Structure 1
């Protein structure tokens, strides 16, 4: 259980912050950039939820919880033997990625194949899901960049990759199963 009875600590006033393992790094560190962008992604999913109902809202709620798991994963560098520790760090696992894949397959089954690229938009829910998709792609790029220099849980990167796909398909579902998608017309305004 997390207890936060004081929000400001003043410990970051000099431009550094603590990672999940207690190490202090610059707030401009690649790891902080990656998990900070996951936090931004979670906020954009929260905006989408303002327009979601039923199973879509439930699925987005699960994703928001996963994104906190993902932030916890990314804010703690991998360490040898951590899986055997008395209290192993929280890591994204394959089952979370597989759940996204199954949900993508279910949603996509009711959609017509695309014949054009889609412009982000349609209704409010779809537009917010497209925004979340682009933030997910940025978070993925930052996690991949971090992984070039430090060990990163591969499932965390897979989760971000699959989540952007999930958000794309969900936006199509939100647009009346693709019927209200806004299609790109190449060169339309020449």
Structure 2
């Protein structure tokens, strides 16, 4: 259980922060950038939830919880030492990726195939989900970049990849099952 009695610690006043294993790194390190962007995604998703209800809101709530799992995963390097840790680090697992895929399949089966690219917009929920999609893509790019030099859980990267697809399909559903999608018209303003 996490207990936060004091919010400010002053330990980061010189520009460094502690990872999940206690090692201190600069706040601009690639690992901090990756899990910081996941935190930004979670906040962006919170804004989207202001426009959601029912099953959609339930699904977004599950994803928000997953994003905390993902942040915990990314802030804890040294995956080869997981077995020796005082407590097992939280890692994204393939079943979380599988759940996203199943939900995408269910959402997508009632949508007409796309004949054009979609401009982000339409309903307020759709516009917010498109923003979530782009932040998820940035978090994915940062995580892939990090994986080029440090250990990163492969399931974490897969989760981000599927999540951006999930947001895309959910945004179409939020636009009256795609009927209110705003379509790109190439060269329309030439």
Correspondence list, 1:73-92, <5 A? 73-83=73-83, 85=85, 87-92=87-92
Unaligned runs of 5+ in 1: none
TM-score, normalised relative to structure 1: 0.98
Q: Which moves more between the two structures, 80-89 or 143-152?
A: 80-89
Question: Offset at 1:87?
Answer: 1.9
Question: Offset at 1:82?
Answer: 1.2
- Paired residues of 1:78 and 1:153 also in contact (CA < 8 A): no
Tell me what 1:61 maps to: 61
Regions of 4+ moved over 4 Å: none
Unaligned runs of 5+ in 2: none
Aligned partners of 1:29, 1:53: CA distance in 2, in Å?
37
Question: Offset at 1:41?
Answer: 0.3
Tell me what 1:188 maps to: 188
Superposed CA RMSD: 0.9
Q: Which moves more between the two structures, 85-94 or 163-172?
A: 85-94
Tell me what 2:72 maps to: 72
Aligned partners of 2:36, 2:93: CA distance in 1, in Å?
20
2:25 counterpart SS class: strand
TM-score, normalised relative to structure 2: 0.98
